[in-house]
Amino acid sequence: MRQRRKRRSSRSRSALFSLGWLRIVIPILWLAWIAVIFIFSSQSYQKQSIQPLLHRTLTAQGADKVLPKVDFSYDHRKYSSDSNPFGMIEFLFRKGAHLFVYGMLAILTAMLMARFRIRGASLAAFPLLTAGVVAVLDEMNQGHSPSRTPAYQDVFVDLTGASLGLLLYFFVRLMSRRYKSSSRHID
């Protein structure tokens, strides 16, 4: 009987420790992630451009081979894989970065909300609202950065990234619960 109590108390202490640890780490990660977003949006275009790297590592013919034949406009600029393959690759890289960064922001926000026992629709709504507010402020910040122009279309890209991140968060959470549930039935 005494050994059971000791095991239970040590288990509950370790569970409390890990929960307490997450309650400290997740808000720090969340704040750091937002800070990184604003640090990058404060940098000049020249400092962030990957075109010099692309020109050193890829030929125009090599770029032409990996890119589909696509022409489109975004924020009043024309992008063409034929006439400017390096610009097209950089554009795709930058928009992919937006998707990733805001997807992670939504995941961290959802983790933060879940740690504080926020459930239901709020667990989905608050990360999207947070991503939207940060995205708008990020675009406003770009308006004050050298050689950067804010684009409202980027806010939609950011919200798309946040939505995808949130879907991933809920999918992993669902799979984790199913796995835990099935492992309990096996024991």
Burial class of residue 91 in the structure, from the number of CB atoms within 10 Å of its CB (0-12 exposed, 13-18 middle, 19+ buried) = middle
120 is a domain residue = yes
179 is a domain residue = yes
Where residue 187 falls among pLDDT bands split at 50, 70, 90? low
176 is a domain residue = yes
User: Average pLDDT of 122-132?
Assistant: 94
66 is a domain residue = no
Average pLDDT, the chain: 85
What range defines the domain where residue 141 resides? 2-46+97-186
Where residue 16 falls among pLDDT bands split at 50, 70, 90? very low
Answer whether residue 128 shows pLDDT above 70: yes
Q: In this predicted model, which residue has the larger pLDDT, 93 or 20?
A: 93
Q: In this predicted model, which residue has the larger pLDDT, 10 or 160?
A: 160
Q: Is the pTM for the entire model greater than 0.85?
A: no
Token pair, residue 72, equals: 């489109």
86 is a domain residue = no
115 is a domain residue = yes
Token pair, residue 184, equals: 């309990």
Structural domain count of the chain: 1
Where residue 3 falls among pLDDT bands split at 50, 70, 90? low
pLDDT, tens digit, 9 for 90 and up, residues 54-107: 999 988 888 888 888 889 899 888 888 888 889 899 999 999 999 999 999 999
Residue 184 is predicted with a pLDDT of 63
DSSP character string of 99-168: HHHHHHHHHHHHHHHHHTT--THHHHHHHHHHHHHHHHHHHHHHTTSTT----HHHHHHHHHHHHHHHHH
88 is a domain residue = no
71 is a domain residue = no
